[in-house]
Amino acid sequence: MTDPSTQYVQWFRQSSPYINAHRDKTFVIMFEGDAILDPNFTHIVQDIALLSSLGVRLVLVHGARPQIDGLLEHWQIRSQFHRDLRITDPMALTAVQAAVGMVKSDIEARLSVGLPNSPMHGARIRVISGNFVMAKPLGVIDGVDFQHTGEVRRIDHQAIKTLLDQRHIVLLSCMGYSPAGDMFNLAVEDVATQAAIDLKADKLIILGNHSGLHNEQGDTLPELTCAQLEQQQHHYSGEMRAHADASLRAIRRGVARVHLLSHSDNGALLQELFTREGRGTLISQQAYDHLRAANIEDVAGILQLLAPLEEQGILVRRSRELLEQEIQRFYVIERDGLITACAALYPYSAEQAELACVAVHPDYRGSDRGQQLLQQIEKEARQRHFQQLFVLTTRTAHWFIERGFVAGDVAELPQERQKLYNFQRNSKVFFKAL
């Protein structure tokens, strides 16, 4: 059995690619007022503080539904609803103001904890809230005036971005203001979705009463594409439906990923963000794996993927500077912000190009990723009118042979590449006609 300290070291190492992938990314985290009442909220706040310490740009969006209901009950006022939406009359608006104020100060207080014996010691988090949400009245529907129930008109994303640049956490509520100075009670999903869209957030994370979206047997679905969710959206009702609708809206308008998690599951946020298995439901724009041309932001991820292979002598070492210069030659496969595979195409002459740096993360091998990258590189090479692809390898000869490469001689390589050939390394050379 591995002892706890070894397990800890392993866990920490396994998290490091995710730490790099999430740094400087913008996450919008939404939760309803009942999350704040849950005993697990203390852990959520600690995990939010940890994310902030790791360089994630965070916008929190809170609701206050149970708190509003509690106040109205206390004041013996019965809220009116139409089409499941609260009609916010002046008395209800007073309750909304009071409840939102209470929840906001509760969150601010919890994020201020910095006691030496708490996990947040030294975190020093600044939470900023303000009039960032512009709203408009919902108006009259079926002849019913919704009064101070509103919808988001616009989010002041510039102001929020400036605060995120300064490393503050921005806190939004389910209240918005109109240019005429009116206040509106908003659906928290509406605020969170619009904020994620306008901020071009990398993730929208929705914490709810469920561990994500379920199938008919009640099991949590770990991942869904937008198209899959569209097909089964009508199966859901209540909160799950609201979260499914919000997810689809965010994804369709450009948010790359939405995560649905339970607010009462201790550690769900960290497991979802820092482990391969995840913990809730991930909804993404395209199929989960995304093969695409690499860009400069992928350099860290590619270096991380190549480093162990370079150490084992399977691949030739490449410096960060070189990789930055040559990044446009690379293709990557990305999975939830993690580079799981890469390959590159290096032109050498009008006819010949090298297939280089083919690497698949050990956890993801044997699922066709290598093959997909090879096909992509071959496609590009054909489009660019190369006639032959060649590859140098020490340990992977058969993988290439099984994919149509034929053994050849160093002398058949382009002159320029021959000069770079390392005789000590003694790589085998393979060619494939295109």
**Which residues of this protein are in contact with ligand COA, per CB under 6 A?**
309, 314-315, 358-360, 365-371, 391, 393, 395-396, 398-399
Contact 192, 87 (CB under 8 A): no
Q: How far is CA 156 from the centre of its chain?
A: 22
**Nearest-angstrom CA–CA distance, 16 and 20:** 6
330 vs 202: CA distance, rounded Å: 22
Nearer to ligand COA, 188 or 373 (CB): 373
Residue nearer to ligand COA on the CB measure, 110 or 361? 361
Q: How far apart are the first and last CA of the chain?
A: 51
- State the minimum distance, in angstroms, from the CB of residue 409 to ligand COA: 18
339/300 Cα distance (integer angstroms): 9
Name the residue nearer to ligand COA (CB basis): 297 or 368.
Answer: 368
Q: Least distance in Å: CB of 434 to ligand COA?
A: 18
Q: How far is the CB of 316 from ligand COA (least distance, A)?
A: 9
Query: 89, 78, 65: which is closest to 147 by C-alpha?
Result: 89
Cβ at position 113, least distance to ligand COA in Å: 45
What span, in angstroms and rounded, lies between the C-alpha atoms of 405 and 434?
Answer: 10
Whole-angstrom Cα distance, residue 247 to residue 190? 11
Which residue lies nearest ligand COA, judged by its C-beta?
370
Q: Is the CB of 228 or the CB of 372 nearer to ligand COA?
A: 372
Toward ligand COA, which CB reaches closer, 365 or 382? 365
Cβ proximity to ligand COA, 371 vs 418, nearer residue:
371
- CB-count burial class (<10 Å; 0-12, 13-18, 19+) for 331: buried
Tokens of 95: 């309750």
Indicate the residue among 216 and 402 with the shorter CB distance to ligand COA. 402
Tokens of 98: 């009071």
Give me the least distance between CB of 295 and ligand COA, in Å please. 21
Q: Give the nearest distance from C-beta 366 to ligand COA in angstroms.
A: 5
Distances (CA, A) of 29 to 147, 196, 259, 269, 354: 28, 9, 9, 10, 44
Task: Please report how close the Cβ of residue 377 comes to ligand COA at its closest, in angstroms.
Answer: 12
DSSP 90-127: HHHHHHHHHHHHHHHHHHHHHHH---TTSTTTT----E
Q: CB of 309: closest distance to ligand COA in angstroms? A: 5
How many CB atoms are located within 10 Å of the residue 157 CB? 18
Q: Which is nearer to ligand COA, 53 or 396 (CB)?
A: 396
Closest distance between ligand COA and the C-beta of residue 67, in Å? 51
| Angle in degrees, CA 66, 69, 74, rounded to 5 | 125
Cβ proximity to ligand COA: between 230 and 326 the closer is 326
Q: Which is nearer to ligand COA, 99 or 360 (CB)?
A: 360
Quote the DSSP letter at residue 163. H
Cα torsion 130, 106, 208, 224: sign: positive
**Per-residue DSSP letters for 30-70?**
EE-HHHHHSTTHHHHHHHHHHHHHTT-EEEEEE--HHHHHH
Residue 403 Cβ, how far from ligand COA at the closest point, in Å? 8
